[in-house]
Each structure stands twice: as structure tokens, then as C-alpha cells.
């Protein structure tokens, strides 16, 4: 059995930014138009008016201040309220593959590696651009990697679940090195017309290079262990899929995009995530006080604060539980990896950290690492 390390991470940041101020202007214009168009029904009590949004509401509810997106003009058009993408022919690289290649190449460059050093690609994402062929195989081929590729989806926990799959392969000798890529074009599955969630998501792509510790560069993070948990819940859901057309479903039906019971998720997931990390650390004879940093899933600032408080028995400092949510918003599976990518340079040899994600499923994944 081989010792395993995370040698590097990579990040692709989309070209456009939507601030809360811009988002609120567009949403409130949409709300005004809808309320005017349905004024009679609203007055009769047969239809609820679309409530107005505000910067204060968004920041209090989430801690988000802005988000990166692949395309903003369509989102900010009150008559459209979704990205404006152009379909690419099958002969061109797909959008998800394109941003995954960018993040993966960033990770390889940081580790001093090339495609020849990699045996496999796992595309772990909350939403796949298509059913098949696998996005991972397109990414693998575009990068010139010999070996294999496959897709997996565990919603916002996809990256940590993907890391465990990669760790298992490297540990057993099935592969020397595996790239886990997390392209998240979440702007296409967000209900921008829903005041309660129109601000939540942003686009991004991260990549994680998992390889044998013996082959890793100095300063890599040894993986001490991984731990996964799932328990079925309907509290976070998206029902869009290949059966929708056979069911004569309209893409405009609300459940064909992301929706959630936010308060229920908060109440149920926070204790689960805290207990999951505490028990995982105990398996390695560690306690939360031994951990220099928790790189948590970036869905909601209040959730992360409560989870940290349950773990530590006090409020975590920004150094102990860094936040990237304010800049990136919720980026599904990529959030905890962005936090790790941005906030690990100050680690010294022997310092321990935990990467943890949690989301729909419910699903929770954690990775305990130690700086070499």
C-alpha cells in the first residue's frame, strides 16, 4: 500500500463578476414587471406577488457579496434571468471540459508535473453538462492523458468523494496519480427568478492532484484519511433529467432547477457535519484543537460559523475556518477546495488540516491532511 498525498490544486476563475448590487437591480426590475403583469390576480388573492430583494437581505442570509459567472448579460436581463450560452458543435470542446482543463493544467504546473505523470481523471461535479460521453474522458483526451476517466456526482460533496476515490486508487497501486476536477457552471441550474435563492451560486472550476507521497513535491499534504457519509433527504433537490421530456415536463417548472428548504438544511446538516469531522479526527487520535485549519464547504456563512462553534466550543477565527464565500458565492463541490487552494501556504511541516464538504443527499465528505 502506498502513502498518498495531495500534491497541488488548481483554480479556474470565470471572466465575469456579478455584484449583489447588480443582481438586486435586475431582480427587482423582474419582480416589478411580473407584479404589474399579474396585478389583478395579486389583488384578488389568487397569486402571490414576487417579493423584492436587497443587498442587505442577501448578505444577512448568506454572507455572499459577489460571484463569478461565465456569462452575466443573460442573468441580468429581467426578460431572461439565466445565462446566455451559445451551443457548441460536437467538434468543439465543451464548456465544462474547457474550464476543467484550465484548472487541471494549473494544478500540474504548480506540482511540476505533466500529463505523462497522470493515469486517470475523475470529473466530480454537482451538475454535468451532458449524460455521455463522460466529461472526464473529454477532459482526459484534451489534456493528452493516457489511462482512464469517469464522472461522478454527489452534489456539493462531489470533490471530497472524488478525492477518496483517487486516494483509494493511488493507495492500492491502481494508479500513480489521479486528477480530480470539479467544473461547476452552477449559474445554469440556479433559479435566478426565486428571491429566496437567486443570489446563492457562482461558477468556477478546481482541480486536485492526488499521487503517491513518494512522487510528491516537497511541501505536499499527506492524506491521513478520508471519510464519507450519506443519508437520503429531499431538503435540497433538482428534478431536471432525461426523463423530464417523457413526463411532458416544462423546463420552466420550479423543480427543474435547484430548490431547497433552507431552514431545514441548516438545522439538520450543521450537527451532522460537526459530528462527522469530530469522529473522523478521533479515528486518527486527533481532536479539533489539533487542527490548524478547517477548509469547509462554502454554502452559507452562518452554517460554517455554527459548525465551527460546535467543533471548537467557540467561534473560529478567520485563520481557522477561512471564508471565500463572500467573493465566489456557493460554488457547489468546489467551495472547500477553493478555500484550501487559497489558504494553505502558511502551513509548516506537521500541521494538520481538514477539508470538508456537505450538501444534497445529504452527503458529507472529509479529508484529513498533514503538511510534509
CA distance 372 to 2: 15
**Cα–Cα nearest to 369, from 221, 226, 227, 228:** 221
CA distance 354 to 149: 26
In the block, cell 499527506 appears at: 222
| Residues identified as active-site | 156
CA distance 271 to 282: 16
β-bridge partners, 303: none
**Cα–Cα nearest to 139, from 174, 182, 187:** 182
Classified as helix, coil or strand, 183 is strand
Ranges assigned E (strand) in the chain:
4-12, 16-19, 66-69, 120-124, 148-152, 177-184, 204-212, 221-230, 236-237, 259-260, 293-296, 352-359, 363-371
CA distance 267 to 114: 44
144: left (phi over 0), alpha (psi -120 to 50) or beta: left
Residue 371 φ/ψ, nearest 5 degrees: -65, 135
CA distance 204 to 74: 18
CA distance 257 to 251: 8
Cβ 159 vs Cβ 363: under 8 Å: no
Amino acid at each position: 500500500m502506498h502513502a498518498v498525498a495531495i500534491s497541488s490544486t488548481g483554480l479556474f476563475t470565470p471572466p465575469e463578476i456579478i455584484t449583489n448590487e447588480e443582481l438586486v437591480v435586475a431582480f427587482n426590475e423582474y419582480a416589478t414587471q411580473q407584479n404589474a403583469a399579474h396585478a389583478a390576480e395579486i389583488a384578488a388573492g389568487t397569486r402571490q406577488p414576487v417579493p423584492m430583494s436587497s443587498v442587505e437581505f442577501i448578505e444577512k442570509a448568506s454572507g455572499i457579496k459577489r460571484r463569478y459567472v461565465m456569462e452575466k448579460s443573460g442573468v441580468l436581463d429581467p426578460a431572461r434571468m439565466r445565462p446566455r450560452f451559445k451551443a457548441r458543435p460536437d467538434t468543439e470542446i465543451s464548456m465544462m471540459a474547457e474550464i476543467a482543463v484550465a484548472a487541471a493544467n494549473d494544478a500540474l504546473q504548480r506540482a511540476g508535473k505533466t500529463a505523462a505523470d497522470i493515469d486517470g481523471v475523475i470529473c466530480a461535479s454537482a451538475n454535468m453538462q451532458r449524460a455521455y460521453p463522460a466529461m472526464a474522458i473529454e477532459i482526459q483526451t484534451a489534456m493528452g492523458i493516457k489511462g482512464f476517466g469517469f464522472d461522478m456526482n454527489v452534489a456539493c460533496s462531489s470533490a471530497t468523494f472524488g478525492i477518496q476515490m483517487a486516494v483509494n486508487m493511488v493507495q492500492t497501486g491502481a494508479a500513480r496519480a489521479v486528477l480530480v476536477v470539479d467544473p461547476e457552471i452552477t449559474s445554469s441550474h440556479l433559479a435566478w427568478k426565486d428571491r429566496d435563492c437567486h443570489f446563492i451560486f457562482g461558477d468556477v472550476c478546481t482541480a486536485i492532484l492526488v499521487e503517491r507521497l513518494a512522487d510528491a513535491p516537497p511541501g505536499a499534504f499527506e492524506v491521513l484519511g478520508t471519510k464519507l457519509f450519506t443519508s437520503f433527504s429531499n431538503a435540497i433537490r433538482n428534478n431536471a433529467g432525461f426523463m423530464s421530456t417523457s413526463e411532458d415536463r416544462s423546463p420552466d417548472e420550479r423543480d427543474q432547477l435547484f430548490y431547497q428548504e433552507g431552514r431545514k438544511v441548516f438545522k439538520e446538516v450543521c450537527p451532522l457535519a460537526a459530528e462527522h469531522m469530530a469522529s473522523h479526527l478521533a479515528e486518527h487520535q486527533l481532536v479539533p484543537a489539533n487542527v490548524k485549519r478547517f477548509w469547509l464547504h462554502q454554502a452559507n456563512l452562518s452554517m460554517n460559523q455554527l459548525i465551527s462553534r460546535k467543533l471548537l466550543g467557540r467561534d473560529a477565527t478567520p485563520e481557522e475556518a477561512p471564508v471565500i464565500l463572500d467573493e465566489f458565492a456557493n460554488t457547489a463541490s468546489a467551495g472547500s477546495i477553493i478555500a484550501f487552494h487559497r489558504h494553505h501556504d502558511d502551513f509548516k511541516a506537521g500541521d494538520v488540516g481538514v477539508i470538508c464538504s456537505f450538501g444534497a443527499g445529504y452527503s458529507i465528505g472529509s479529508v484529513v491532511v498533514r503538511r510534509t
